[in-house]
Amino acid sequence: DAEVPLHLRNAPTKLMKELGYSKGYAYYHDDPEASFAQAYLPEPLEPMRFFDPRGEGWERKVAERYRELRQRFTAARRKAGGGPAN
């Protein structure tokens, strides 16, 4: 089972907050680097790649931005002690 990570779950009730829902969520606009360090996929899905830009036409620009974001994400995860990220 691949469940949504607790820090990404909505916590509209006291019980959900006590269970850890939304605890540790990093809001991008408050701290962009912290948001890169958090995981957004369930653990079983983290090593999977869902986008593989080919670098042709418009996809070339998308590929450049994607590589930049992946590098920032990987660096932030390692710095936070989250281990390597794909």
Reading the chain (86 residues) residue by residue, the pLDDT tens digits are 789 999 999 999 999 999 999 998 888 888 777 777 788 888 888 888 888 887 789 999 988 988 888 888 888 888 877 655 44
Within a domain: residue 67?
Answer: yes
Q: Is residue 39 part of a domain?
A: yes
pLDDT of 86 reads 45
Whether the full predicted model's pTM is greater than 0.75, yes or no, is no
Q: Is residue 85 part of a domain?
A: no
Q: By residue range, what is the domain housing residue 60?
A: 6-79
Shortest CA distance to 4 belongs to which of 47, 45, 51, 49? 45
Residue 1, domain member (yes or no): no
Show contacts of 24-27: CB within 8 Å, 24+ apart. none
The pLDDT value recorded for residue 82 is 62
- The answer to whether the CB of 63 falls within 8 A of the CB of 53 is yes
30 vs 43: CA distance, rounded Å: 25
Q: How many domains does the chain have?
A: 1
User: Cα separation of 79 and 38, whole Å?
Assistant: 11
Cβ contact 73:67 at 8 Å: no
